[in-house]
């Protein structure tokens, strides 16, 4: 039931991405092909769906915030294309398919990432004026998004991740890393939709809390899947964290204990939504799903 | 005289960059150090000065548009850090100093570039509200800047540049490459300042024309300096274009003829400014300087 609903939303986001991204055949073609390859790679589209859900909760149609939702997914895709590069995580496969630099070469993969990030801000700006969304609201979103994915946010998390490879770090350091690398983008996705919907500050606080724990639960489940997942379903080699000597929730406390922490995070997510009515039900199901998923 | 004036403006921009960029000691430190290294590398600051001049011409104090000026220079710096990477131009030196990836490693140089680009958009958004600059004006600037430096602008130019290495291309293809890779950012720098100053459409058109030919003259002079410059002054090895089998104005028509085309571009710049009074004098001197420079 949840998966079918999510699938409909995923297709809706994919259509919007096709509409809002610069067409694949634009000149110079190679860069636009690489950008589309990096985006249309079988992603779950969790983050753009959160943008839509944030807007819904504030009483605005998800349709109104599609440019912002697409921009968030473009940022997520750029970060994956850059993270996969030989100089970073050096991954050849993502979701079972060759990574962007494997297909288009390193230079084009770097430039495609740069162009997705740039295009994302262009698209964020274009959300102004849609059904009364104000220029002030959009500028606020641009600032929040830039801060969330910048050197003190998502990029900072990748820096910490690279710096910690081959070292053992403690739980606090691992939490900081996860929060920056994964949590910040989930958090700002919900926040962006809610801001454009005109959500009140108390509601915003609750959604930020949800996003934070959603991101953490997501990351712990990733850690668990890395040791116990099915390679054909996850699309990535099992045991790569151990191979890369990465500290994870599983290496720190074992899979069973990590699963408990993830479940506690989901409880925090549900608690954060207690002030919302049934319109938050999809977010409730998303939180439960995140630790049930097998990929 | 011009050089002294330019030096004062350069120092003014450097101070503003120090103020507006995330401090070097912020956590995680390595990324902020790499960002500062990439920005404070002895650059001429031509583009941010153009932002200020554009605002001046429209009757607004340059001070009001400093966040935008700094953002433009951060974008320029990110593009250099990425262009220098081993997967791209593979340059070890820039202005006589080791390039960002030589000092901080490839991963951090990629991430520092990403973070400068991200931070630039955050900074652009922060220009709203300064002495009556409207949210609408700033959103327009964000869209123009993103388009100018995106996959159909500056990044597209770098794609064409990489694709043309080792091949001979004709003058038209070289012009397109230069226009995208160099011209677009100069153009949008002036345009951004002028837009924030409230310049009328006719004035904007004239400035866009100036920026286009300024960029071309700048690039042709770069081509000339690559064969006839002084390595100690330019800070980069002479003859690197020939070594990389690059088509340049000099390879296509010889240095003397290329110099003539550059002078014709400067004339177009001056012609574009004919409708402006003495407030455009600094831009006039900048255009003349660009083909006189030795670095």
Helix or strand or coil: residue B148? helix
With contacts defined as CB-CB under 8 Å, which chain B residues touch A30? 159, 163
| Residue B87 belongs to a domain | yes
Strand partners, A93: A98
- The Cα A263–Cα B122 span in angstroms is 35
Helix or strand or coil: residue A222? helix
- Binned at pLDDT 50, 70 and 90, residue A230 comes out as confident
pLDDT digits over A31-59, tens only?
A: 999 999 999 999 999 999 999 999 999 99
With contacts defined as CB-CB under 8 Å, which chain B residues touch A150? 22, 115, 118-119, 122
Q: Is the pTM of this model over 0.80?
A: yes
With contacts defined as CB-CB under 8 Å, which chain B residues touch A117? 114, 117-118
With contacts defined as CB-CB under 8 Å, which chain B residues touch A105? 87
Mean pLDDT of A65-90: 97
- The Cα B206–Cα B270 span in angstroms is 10
Which secondary structure element, helix H or strand E, spans residue A273, and what is its range? Answer: none
Chain A residue with minimum CA distance to B120: A146
| Residue A295 belongs to a domain | no
- The CA-CA-CA angle for residues B94, B99, B100, to 5°, reads 140
pLDDT digits over A177-211, tens only?
A: 999 999 999 999 999 999 999 999 999 999 999 99
Structure tokens at A163: 């710096």
Instruction: Give, in order, the Cα–Cα distances in Å from B127 to each of B64, B116, B122, B200, B232.
Output: 8, 17, 9, 20, 38
With contacts defined as CB-CB under 8 Å, which chain B residues touch A152? 22, 26-27
pLDDT digits over B135-191, tens only?
A: 999 999 999 999 999 999 999 999 999 999 888 899 999 999 999 999 999 999 999
Q: Which of A44, A253, A58, A81 is nearest to A158 (CA)?
A: A81
What is the CATH number for B205?
1.10.600.10
* A152/chain B closest Cα distance in angstroms: 7
In A19-31, which positions are buried (b, 16+ CB within 10 angstroms) versus exposed (e)? Answer: ebbbeeeeebebb
| Residue A101 belongs to a domain | yes
Question: Could you tell me where the beta strands, DSSP code E, fall in B58-206?
Answer: 93-94, 97-98
Tell if the CB–CB gap between B139 and A136 is shorter than 8 Å. Answer: no
As a whole-number percent, the residues of chain A with pLDDT over 70 amount to: 98
Into how many domains does chain A fold? 1
* A217/chain B closest Cα distance in angstroms: 24
Q: Which of A13-27, B112-126, B173-187, B239-253 has the lowest mean pLDDT?
A: B239-253
Task: Output the CA torsion sign for B84, B90, B92, B94.
Answer: negative
Tell if the CB–CB gap between B151 and A115 is shorter than 8 Å. Answer: yes
Other beta carbons less than 10 A from residue B254's beta carbon:
12
* Cα separation of the two ends of chain A: 17
- More confident of the two residues B222 and B51: B51
- The CA-CA-CA angle for residues A42, A44, A47, to 5°, reads 130
- Binned at pLDDT 50, 70 and 90, residue A293 comes out as confident
- The CA-CA-CA angle for residues A56, A133, A207, to 5°, reads 40
**Which of B31, B87, B138 lies closest to A156 in CB terms?**
B31
Average pLDDT along chain B: 94
Tell if the CB–CB gap between A114 and B146 is shorter than 8 Å. Answer: no
Strand partners, B93: B98
Instruction: Give, in order, the Cα–Cα distances in Å from B290 to each of A266, A274, B31, B205.
Output: 60, 63, 33, 21
Chain B residue with minimum CA distance to A34: B151
Other beta carbons less than 10 A from residue A150's beta carbon:
24
* A32/chain B closest Cα distance in angstroms: 7
Structure tokens at A264: 């506690």
Chain B residue with minimum CA distance to A148: B118
* Cα separation of the two ends of chain B: 17
Position B287 pLDDT exceeds 80: yes
Are residues A189 and A50 in contact, defined by beta-carbon separation less than 8 angstroms?
A: yes
With contacts defined as CB-CB under 8 Å, which chain A residues touch B163? 28, 30
Structure tokens at A251: 């290496």
- Binned at pLDDT 50, 70 and 90, residue A235 comes out as low
Tell if the CB–CB gap between B156 and A117 is shorter than 8 Å. Answer: no
- pLDDT recorded at residue A75: 98
Tell if the CB–CB gap between A119 and B82 is shorter than 8 Å. Answer: no
**What is the ipTM for the molecules in this complex?**
0.96
Tell if the CB–CB gap between B125 and A142 is shorter than 8 Å. Answer: yes
Helix or strand or coil: residue B93? strand
Tell if the CB–CB gap between A125 and B110 is shorter than 8 Å. Answer: no
Helix or strand or coil: residue B129? coil
Q: Which of B108, B283, B295, B135 is nearest to B213 (CA)?
A: B283
Tell if the CB–CB gap between B150 and A118 is shorter than 8 Å. Answer: yes
Tell if the CB–CB gap between B117 and A119 is shorter than 8 Å. Answer: no
Alpha helices (runs of H) in chain A, residue ranges in sequence order: 2-20, 29-39, 46-57, 66-83, 100-104, 106-125, 135-149, 154-164, 171-178, 184-197, 201-228, 231-234, 240-243, 249-272, 281-290
Helix or strand or coil: residue B98? strand
- Binned at pLDDT 50, 70 and 90, residue B241 comes out as confident
pLDDT digits over A110-158, tens only?
A: 999 999 999 999 999 999 999 999 999 999 999 999 999 999 999 999 9
Tell if the CB–CB gap between A143 and B150 is shorter than 8 Å. Answer: no
- Binned at pLDDT 50, 70 and 90, residue A245 comes out as confident
- Binned at pLDDT 50, 70 and 90, residue B235 comes out as low
With contacts defined as CB-CB under 8 Å, which chain B residues touch A106? 87
* B72/chain A closest Cα distance in angstroms: 13
Strand partners, A98: A93
- pLDDT recorded at residue A227: 86
**Which of A88, A122, A155 lies closest to B150 in CB terms?**
A122
With contacts defined as CB-CB under 8 Å, which chain A residues touch B113? 114
**Which of B32, B146, B155 lies closest to A121 in CB terms?**
B146
Q: Which residue of B83, B101, B107 to mutate against A (max A Cβ within 10 Å)?
A: B107
| Residue A9 belongs to a domain | yes
Position B240 pLDDT exceeds 80: no
With contacts defined as CB-CB under 8 Å, which chain B residues touch A146? 118-119, 121-122, 125
Position B236 pLDDT exceeds 80: no
Tell if the CB–CB gap between B27 and A146 is shorter than 8 Å. Answer: no
Q: A with B: how many residue pairs have Cβ under 8 Å apart? A: 155
Give the structural domain span for B175. 2-290
- pLDDT recorded at residue A241: 73
| Residue A147 belongs to a domain | yes
Structure tokens at A42: 């079988």
* A164/chain B closest Cα distance in angstroms: 12
């Amino acid at each position: 039931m949840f998966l079918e609903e999510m699938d409909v939303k995923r297709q809706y986001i994919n259509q919007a991405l096709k509409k809002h991204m610069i067409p694949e055949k634009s000149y110079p073609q190679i860069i636009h092909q690489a950008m589309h390859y990096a985006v249309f790679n079988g992603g779950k589209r969790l983050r753009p769906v959160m943008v839509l859900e944030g807007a819904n909760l504030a009483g605005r149609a998800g349709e109104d915030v599609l440019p912002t939702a697409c921009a968030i997914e473009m940022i997520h895709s750029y970060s994956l294309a850059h993270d996969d590069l030989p100089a970073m995580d050096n991954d050849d496969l993502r979701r079972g398919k060759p990574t962007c630099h494997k297909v288009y070469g390193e230079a084009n993969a770097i430039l495609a990432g740069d162009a997705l990030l740039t295009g994302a801000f262009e698209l964020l700006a274009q959300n102004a004026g849609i059904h009364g969304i104000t220029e002030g609201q959009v500028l606020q979103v641009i600032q929040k998004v830039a801060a969330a994915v910048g050197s003190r946010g998502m990029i900072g998390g990748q820096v910490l991740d690279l710096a910690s490879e081959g070292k053992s770090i403690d739980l606090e350091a691992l939490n900081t890393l996860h929060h920056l690398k994964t949590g910040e983008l989930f958090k700002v996705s919900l926040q962006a939709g809610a801001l454009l919907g005109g959500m009140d500050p108390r509601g915003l606080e609750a959604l930020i809390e949800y996003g934070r724990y959603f991101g953490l639960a997501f990351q712990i489940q990733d850690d668990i899947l890395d040791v116990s997942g099915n390679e054909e379903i996850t699309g990535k080699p099992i045991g790569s964290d151990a191979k890369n000597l990465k500290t994870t929730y599983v290496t720190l406390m074992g899979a069973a204990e990590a699963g408990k922490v993830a479940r506690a995070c989901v409880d925090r997510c549900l608690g954060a939504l207690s002030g919302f009515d049934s319109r938050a039900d999809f977010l409730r199901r998303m939180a439960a799903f995140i630790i049930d998923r097998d990929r």
